[in-house]
Amino acid sequence: MARYDSYIICTSPRSGSTLLCRLLAATGVAGNPGSYFHEPSLSDWLSYFDLVPDPSTAERGVLAEIFRAAMAKGSLDTGMFGLRLQRHSFDFFTEKLAVLHPEFSGDAQRLQAAFGRTLFVHLTRRDKIEQAVSHVKAEQSGLWHAAPDGTELERLSPPQKLVYDADEIRARYDELSAYDRDWEDWFDAEEISPLRLTYEALSKDPIEALCRTLDELGLEREAAASVEPSVAKLADGTSRDWVARFRSELGES
């Protein structure tokens, strides 16, 4: 029997969370993890789930509808709920969670009330320069994720000319570093000991990272036997050149 009812992948952009979510979903036993609260906007949450609540419904009732819809979408018929949360919308998410469960005083308690026994997974990328470059390059190219065969999985804008921008890379570097510090501060404040995974380990051996997560959840490793990675790395010569140039400008070897 699984040790948890749900899990939350606590992460930041370009950390490999799309790959991890797809791997977990492909097992057929670990829910359908996704960014169901990605935008810090109640209207966006309602739109995402195609919900049109009665105008007379109080905010707490509206949130209950949203969370039920998220649970259904993130669990399917597996009995396990999966969720990806990123820091840019986390404060708004916890603010609304407090409205939904005012009877509890802390985020961890409220999350348990909303989703049951919850495993927290901290997925981070150690090399923040590579992460920042990946983020800037994705914003410029418009392509955020692709399959191993080159098929585009997520394009958010038409492609633009790729231009090295040290100021933008630095801004993303500072932002992504702050996100990691914020997660660590939150884990400490809520007395949470998360399962720790890194982008570097995930990209090197995706199935082993998947098996580690299944082990922690109390699910059988055999569920990973037929799973194949479905997201490709987008790093290329341009990425490597930008990383090397930025390291040089920072005085790093």
Average pLDDT over residues 107-133: 97
How are beta strands 143-146 and 152-155 bridged, if at all? antiparallel
pLDDT in tens, 180-238: 999 999 999 999 999 999 999 999 999 999 999 999 999 999 999 999 887 767 778 89
Is the pLDDT at 8 greater than 70, yes or no? yes
49 pLDDT exceeds 70? yes
Distance CA 94, CA 112 (A): 12
Residue 174's contacts (CB-CB under 8 Å, 6 or more residues apart) are none
Cα 102 to the center of its chain, rounded Å? 26
Mean pLDDT over 3-17 rounds to 95
- Which domains are seen in the chain, by residue range? 6-250 (3.40.50.300)
pTM given for the model: 0.93
pLDDT at 153: 66
Q: What pLDDT, on a 0 to 100 scale, did the predictor assign at position 253? A: 58
Please state the rounded mean pLDDT for residues 90-105.
97
CA distance 26 to 228: 8
pLDDT band at 15 (very low <50, low <70, confident <90, very high): very high
CA neighbours closer than 13 Å in the CB half-sphere of residue 26: 18
Q: How many other C-beta atoms can be found within 10 angstroms of the C-beta atom of residue 109?
A: 14
Mean pLDDT within 1-12: 94
Three-state helix/strand/coil letters over 31-66: CCCECCCCCCCHHHHHHHCCCCCCCCCCHHHHHHHH
